[in-house]
A and B are shown apart, each in its own frame.
Chain A
Amino acid sequence: MTGDTIINSSDTVLLRANGLTKIFGTLKACDDVDLVIARGEIHALLGENGAGKSTLVKMLFGALQPTSGSIAWKGEAVTIPSPSVGRTLGIGMVFQHFSLFDALTAAENIALSIDEATPIGMIAEKARQIGKAYGLPVDPDALVGDLSVGERQRIEIIRCLLQNPDLIILDEPTSVLTPQEAELLFVTLERLRSEGKSILYISHRLEEVRQLCDRATVLRHGKVVGECNPREQTANSLARMMVGGDIHRVEREPLAADAAAAKAALIEVKGLSQRPTGPFSVALHDIGFTVHAGEILGIAGVAGNGQSELFEAVSGERLQERPDIIRIRDNDAGRQGISARRKLGAAFVPEERLGHGAVPDMSLSDNLLLSRHATDRKVFTSGGVLKLISASSLTSAARRIISRMDVRKSAENPDASALSGGNLQKFLIGRELDRNPSVLVVNQPTWGVDAGAAAHIRQALVDLARGGSAVIVISQDLDELFEISDRIAAMVHGRLSDSVPIEEMNMERVGMMMGGADHSAPEAA
């Protein structure tokens, strides 16, 4: 709306999409979407999960064909039947989930995506040059498996830049970065903009969109519901546009200063070290923490610093060497499996929903049994040693969770894989909350979950803690940790820092801790 006069002149318009519509069965994923991207701008694409952002982007990139509507590229009508055609036109994409081979070097990975046969040495040299020019330092000869997530993202971006694109699409690029790494990325993006390249920037972090982007298009339920200059908006007004209403703010009473220490320690971890489980897994070094009744411990850290390994150790998917390394409600649990730990009152929600927290092609009620068959044996099974599954009590429990967590679904009892990420996560967290556990360990609770659902989940976690449970939240989302935690610790290279009370914490300090630089933290509370 602000830039209408400029963007209508044809030589400044890079891409213009008119009435793009994509129908999947009965679902209109994109409904008559108009989008104009000017040369040399960073254009934000905002919207909740399921708003149609990725469908729209896939059509622009050639991974999906629109049901109707047209795309004009540099003033000429085009159809983009495949991503390779998109690349030839000059549209590059950096995905949220990297498509890199761990066992190959950075240069070899780049070579794989280049059509012509170019010697690997030349590619490495070019990658080094581009890296230097755009502030993306990376060693082309390093094995990808050894690189941090931020470095892997740089490889993806370099790979994209090698094709010399005019439009670069970035899908949630900062969701895997530390605040400091994100700042570096912004410098790169601004340099690209100054060269006249355009960037389509998908993100749900509204503050960074305000800081970085020139214009924003907001999608809701597949339709464009607004265009604006994000610099003239507040994070709140952007969020309202995305959700179409006010977002619930998490209500959280601060803990009384000495209340936590006085209350019972529900989970204690002490001297937890373990060797890596595979070539790309992280070793844990002497991890220790205690969480008391009523409090939430937030564990920050960039992905791949041992969070999943810590989760598997605490959950009992991997056992410890000695029983007293992990104590749950004053019981030595280090040598007990996950079912026994659940019986002690602990509950777990892993990061990966499909294939870890749930079986993709099983129904929700069947998936309910996954984590509950041992703790709720009397409710869900009958017939003594035969352990007959009681389908009716599973269905009614699933229904209870679905209504309590407001899980939206298309069928009565759909397969887990048929749910959107956010709705499945609500179900998986609801599955554990339904037991009212005394200890809850959750890894990335709102990863890829839309704002409304995320607020719902965070409030549920806070309520559980304030009801007298101990909650451990492992998350890469710092805003989330600041919103709900009572104490925050950070993981780096398989070590866990001491935890710092939320009152003494700020972004800069947590960023330092995530980088492994903070040694000034006081002893754990």
Chain B
Amino acid sequence: MMRIEIIRRPQHSALFSALSPFIALLLTLLAGAVLFAILGKNPVAALYSYFVEPLTEIWSIHELLIKAAPLILIAVGLSVCFLSNNWNIGAEGQFIAGGVAGSILPVVFPDFQGWYVLPVMLVLGMAGGMAYAAIPALLKTRFNTNEILTSLMLVYVAQLFLDWLVRGPWRNPQGYNFPETIQFNSSAILPEIWTASGRAHWGFVLALLAALLVWFMLSRMLSGYEIKVLGRSARAGRFAGFSAGRLTFFAFLISGALAGLAGISEVSGAVGQLRPSISPGYGFTAIIVAFLGRLNPLGIIAAGLVLALTYLGGEAAQISLGISEKSARIFQGMVLFFILASDTLIYYRIRIVSRSVETAAKGA
């Protein structure tokens, strides 16, 4: 008889902390291959068209950056939340709130045009995301409400609010009753980085910038130290004189701002108008990005690109393999599943015990 035990390590393993994302990705690919085989596709060819083919063409790499930008922006903000033990699950809603708030100018005041329009839109987008994230922060600090539930539920409120806006007051009067706003004028469009080769817009650069700034704060500044101390031990944080309530606001506001910035960048850079749905679940996928990137903003850049690839692969697979693009969700889910499982190895080791030892002792 055999039995598998997990035993706590005396100290967490740095090796497995670094290795865990790669183990998770490997297991995801293996599980994906099994899945394709069950669907009757050749696993090797399927994985190739899912994960390699999108990287072989320039235009497709541009698409990758477009998808990675919001993932990185949101995940960087979430890393601040998660490190400080604030479980913001509502980035999707803050993304929409940012998209809506940033669109006020081009939708309601389309006559305003000029260089200043774009900066104002970005600032409004961040403000919208912040305001929306402040709600769960306020509820948590004031009424001790569970922020996981409140932030998640507010996602649906935001989605329905956007839906109502584009079908109601903000609908394009010349739009043949399609649920869309007017197309943004050119001064409200986030420009492309390198127009000649593809569509990627400056949102990706904003994402890199945000990642670098937050990385600097977390690793070099006292506020980053405060985040880590309070996240790991609230009591030690109180002993240090740090305020958990203030940090909850700080973390929610910063992640709301970045999610809002991601929202308006997506709307202004990739879509060009508001529609009933402006996100293929970026706010939720970014949770996976944050964990795959070890809650480290630099790791998140890499993880954001990996998860963006699943979106592209899903689209490619729909075309070349004839499987639903929703398969991307399956891959994202598997990444999260396997990374959480692999993370067990950081704190625990696995031991296989044979039963015979114990029975011998009982006989004595």
Contacts and interface: CB of A to CB of B under 8 A. Distances in A.
Contacts of A387: 221-223
B317 to A, nearest CB: 41
Interface string A335-363: 00111001000001010100111111110
A388 B216 CA distance: 10
Contact of B235 (A355, A366, A388): A355
Contacts of B238: 317, 338
Contacts of B362: 85, 88
B138 to A, nearest CB: 22
Interface in A375-427: 381, 386-389, 415, 417-418
Interface string A71-97: 001001111111001001100000000
A80 B225 contact: no
A85 B239 contact: no
Given A362-B228, A362-B229, A370-B229, A79 B360 contact: yes
Contacts of B221: 386-389
A361 B232 CA distance: 8
Nearest to B358: A81
Nearest to A77: B364
B277 interface: no
A274 to B, nearest CB: 16
Interface string B1-22: 0000000001110000000000
A372 to B, nearest CB: 9
B142 interface: no
Given A76-B364, A78-B361, A79-B361, A389 B235 contact: no
B139 interface: no
B233 A373 contact: no
A78 B364 contact: yes
B245 to A, nearest CB: 13
B361 A81 contact: yes
Contacts of B233: 355-356, 359-360
B88 to A, nearest CB: 22
A374 interface: yes
Interface in B53-80: none
A196 B319 CA distance: 82
Contacts of A360: 232-233
A55 interface: no
Please report whether the interface of chain A is mostly helix, strand, loop or mixed according to DSSP.
mixed
B11 A350 contact: no
B357 interface: yes
B241 interface: yes
A385 to B, nearest CB: 10
B52 interface: no
Contacts, number: 86
A388 B223 CA distance: 9
B241 A338 contact: yes
Contacts of B222: 369, 373, 381, 387-389
Nearest to A366: B225
A497 interface: no
Nearest to B243: A337
A76 to B, nearest CB: 6
A73 B183 CA distance: 85
Contacts of A77: 364
Given A355-B233, A371-B239, A389 B225 contact: yes
Contact of B241 (A78, A82, A337, A352): A337
Contacts of A386: 221
B223, B232, B241: residue with the most chain A Cβ atoms closer than 10 Å: B241
A89 B358 CA distance: 13
A16 to B, nearest CB: 14
Contacts of B240: 338-339, 370-371, 373
Contact of A362 (B10, B223, B232, B241): B232
Contacts of B220: 388-389
A21 interface: no
A369 B11 CA distance: 22
A347 B23 CA distance: 46
B324 to A, nearest CB: 43
B7 to A, nearest CB: 11
B236 interface: yes
Contacts of A81: 357-358, 361
B12 A361 contact: yes
Interface string B222-260: 110100110011011011110000000000000000000
15 contacts: A73-B364, A77-B364, A315-B239, A338-B238, A338-B241, A339-B240, A360-B232, A361-B12, A361-B232, A366-B225, A369-B225, A371-B240, A373-B222, A381-B222, A386-B221
Nearest first, the 6 A-B pairs at minimum CB distance are A339-B241, A387-B222, A78-B364, A338-B241, A370-B240, A79-B361
Interface of A: 24, 73, 76-82, 85, 88-89, 315, 317, 337-339, 342, 348, 350, 352, 355-362, 366, 369-371, 373-374, 381, 386-389, 415, 417-418
Given A82-B358, A89-B364, A360-B233, 11 more contacts: A78-B361, A80-B361, A81-B358, A85-B362, A315-B239, A317-B238, A355-B233, A357-B239, A359-B229, A369-B225, A370-B229
